[in-house]
Amino acid sequence: MLTKNIKIAIVGGGPGGLTLARLLQMNGAEVKVYERDLNKNARVQGATLDLHDDSGLKALEKAGLMDAFKANYRPGADKMRIVDHLANVAYDQHTDNQPEETFGNPYFRPEIDRGPLRKILLESLDPDTVVWNSQFKSMQQTGNTWTVEFQNGNLATADLVIAADGANSKIRHLITPLKPVYSGVTAIEGSIYDAQHKVPRIFELLKDGKIFGFGTGKTIIVSSKGDGSVAFYAGFRAPENWSSQYELDFSDKASILNWFKHEFAEWDNIWQELFENAETPFIPRPLYCIPLNQTWDALSNLTMLGDAAHLMPPYAGEGVNMAMLDALELSEHLINPEYKTLQTAIANYENQMRIRAAEAAKGSLENTLWMHDNDAITKMMAMFDAPS
């Protein structure tokens, strides 16, 4: 087996990196995960994750973690309300009387908060697998061995390195010079704790699920979380350097609220609750997408997965699912006795991954663009075959 008697370093402890570590350890590999967070108790930001039957859930099943997932997912959190910019409900999955989907249904997309998913994966690993406070700085190759340096001055050596370091990967350039391309859409992310009391109207509209708000060529997406908080994203078309042009201070709530009132002036004032009560700083997120025809020559001891390999906008829910499926497929290639060299295994994994990721990225990019058209709510409603 190719993973026998070699040291494997996974840079990045997100769902993709941790899933890969679990799958490799199940097959006897020596693995370390290097994660920039200070410890396992670091606050996990972002909205909830919906896992798909043929990708994220498939990887968890292979990792022997479905029972843990079923004990921690949030039934009903996948239900959405589609509303217009005035908060009028156009479609409500809470009351559509459709048969309840469940595990085994290919269209079932159960939601789980990022924290519980991370906890499930961490607890499945051997003790001390994750090396915390390890923010990547650089790496150099000597012979067939990589020496990885971290911001804290620590060094690690490995025979095989997998970049799982996300959208702003510092390792990707060692594999390919191709860079993701700006989609034309930017989102501002915010979080609100104790949402029931701080944003009661939004909380009532949310019903512990999701809100997709469309109008005037803009979007607001809100997701409930199991700890009583909500995450939200306000999306709009803008130049790539939008935030620097406007010189906005994302740590100044009053400044961002004034910007929102101006740019979303036609939206009902219910949405202002989000910006009035959010924690600071807000996070600007210009949305990027991989070149759909990207390719490169496989290396012998370095590869990547997840957003590092195929960053795409989040409007199709594919990011985490593609990362976890990458982990599954990469692990299967590395332990497959048919491959005689690491480079051959990596090449076949990457060829398969690029084709799959390009298809998902194409759909994500298309969704991103039409969701920020003036007729987005009509198009969204058509997807559910419901009258607008």
Measuring CA to CA, which residue among 237, 234, 229 is closest to residue 256?
234
Instruction: Report residue 160 CA to chain centroid gap.
Output: 24
Helix (H, G, I), strand (E, B) or coil at 381: helix
Q: What pLDDT is attached to residue 385?
A: 67
Q: What is the pLDDT of residues 65-76, one digit of tens each?
A: 999 999 999 999
What is the pLDDT of the chain when averaged over all its residues? 94
Q: How many CA atoms lie within 13 A of 331 on its CB side?
A: 27
Neighbour-count burial of 266, counting CB atoms closer than 10 A to its CB (0-12 exposed, 13-18 middle, 19+ buried): exposed
Q: What is the mean pLDDT of residues 230-248?
A: 90
Residue 370 has a CB neighbour count (10 Å cut-off) of 13
Q: What is the mean pLDDT of residues 34-52?
A: 89
Determine if residue 74 is labeled as part of a ligand binding site.
Answer: no
Q: How far apart are CA 299 and CA 100, in angstroms?
A: 46
We find that the CATH architecture of domain 7-74+111-179+292-367 is: 3-Layer(bba) Sandwich (3.50)
Determine if residue 43 is labeled as part of a ligand binding site.
Answer: yes
Measuring CA to CA, which residue among 342, 33, 361 is closest to residue 165?
33
As a residue count, the chain comes to 388
Q: What is the pLDDT of residues 49-94, one digit of tens each?
A: 999 999 999 999 999 999 999 999 999 999 999 999 999 999 999 9
* Token pair of 329 as six digits: 């497929």
Determine if residue 307 is labeled as part of a ligand binding site.
Answer: yes
Q: What pLDDT is attached to residue 241?
A: 87
User: Is the domain 181-289 a CATH 3.30.9.30 member?
Assistant: yes
Determine if residue 109 is labeled as part of a ligand binding site.
Answer: no
pTM for this model (two decimals): 0.95
Q: What is the DSSP letter of 172?
A: G
Measuring CA to CA, which residue among 258, 314, 260 is closest to residue 49?
314
Helix (H, G, I), strand (E, B) or coil at 306: coil
Domain residue extents for the chain: 7-74+111-179+292-367, 181-289
What are the φ/ψ torsions at residue 183 (nearest 5 degrees)? -80, -20
Quick check: 96 pLDDT over 80? no
Alpha carbon of 128 to those of 6, 31, 40, 56: distances in Å? 18, 10, 11, 25
